[in-house]
Structure 1
Amino acid sequence: MRQKLKIPRIIKIEKIDGFVIQCMFNNGESRLLDFKKIFNKWNVSSDDLEYKLLDLKEFKKVNLRNFTLSWSNIEIEIKNEIGQIEKYPYEIGPDVLFQLSEQMDSNDIKLGSIIKSARLKAGLTQEQLAMRSGTTRFYISRIENNKTDVEMSTFRKIIEAGLGKQLKLIIE
């Protein structure tokens, strides 16, 4: 059985606004990294590698590499095992970035809210919806309260068999 790794990874840079980067992590969350706050917290001074990133033009040269933020305009020199100098771009580990980030106010559509609204509109109890869709009242409650994720196949069963509606998914 394949084990799920819970190591945070950045899978997309969604937006850069000044020194704030909005990233999507592999858990599906969009999170904000405010580097003005981060550099202030780190007490970045002219002696530090990050100092160059206080220049907005240099800061915006960020890209996604190895599931983290990377600045190839800042090089780190590291001696390898045979004493040779190797150069790498400046990167901050995604686990550190996740801890430093702030979760965005969620404008995400919560599937549980959609199900609950449709269930109430149809005049069904959680128990009735569970029976019709082949799940349990406890599971319907957890979905409606956004306490658990729902697989697409289960979501389809709840919508089509449980609520008697047609599921349409549009990606624009």
Structure 2
Amino acid sequence: MRVYLPCTLPALARAVEAGLLGPAPLTGYAVTPALTEWYASGDTEELEYVALTEAARASLRMLAADRADGVEAPPRRVVVAADVPDRAVSAVADLDERARVRLADPVALAKVASVHVDDLDAVADVEAAVAALPAADGGDDDARFTVDGAEAHELMWYATQEIPDLLA
């Protein structure tokens, strides 16, 4: 099963050093039965894009958490796409995140298929979205608009052999 794991550049660097994404359990996003039922007209590619988008939203929250912990995280959303056995994944979807899954084990970097990262053009909007998250969570419509503005940027696709260049 293809799973999209939210990440940040510092977390990706730690994963490369350790050889795996972890520790477990991990929250990821995938084509779940709840997502398929909700978006019945979508083909597999469209459903995977929805899962990737939900992972990108979670990456934004990880950026905010890193910043709150004093980690210098560049304002770029990161999503790691990995292929894991179906048995390693359990659906935990809810109405807001129909693609959310839980992985019981860390994911070896050898299972990573690609990495998706914001282009440098998105930095200002991602920075603004991270700053607006608390107000957006509090119901501020203008802040939600700012957070949604980060989603206007498509994540760039990178092959696994390009990961060192991303981290340089």
TM-score (norm 1): 0.24
* More relative contact order, 1 or 2 (CA 8 Å, 6+ apart): 2
Normalized per residue, the structure richer in helix is 2
TM-score (norm 2): 0.24
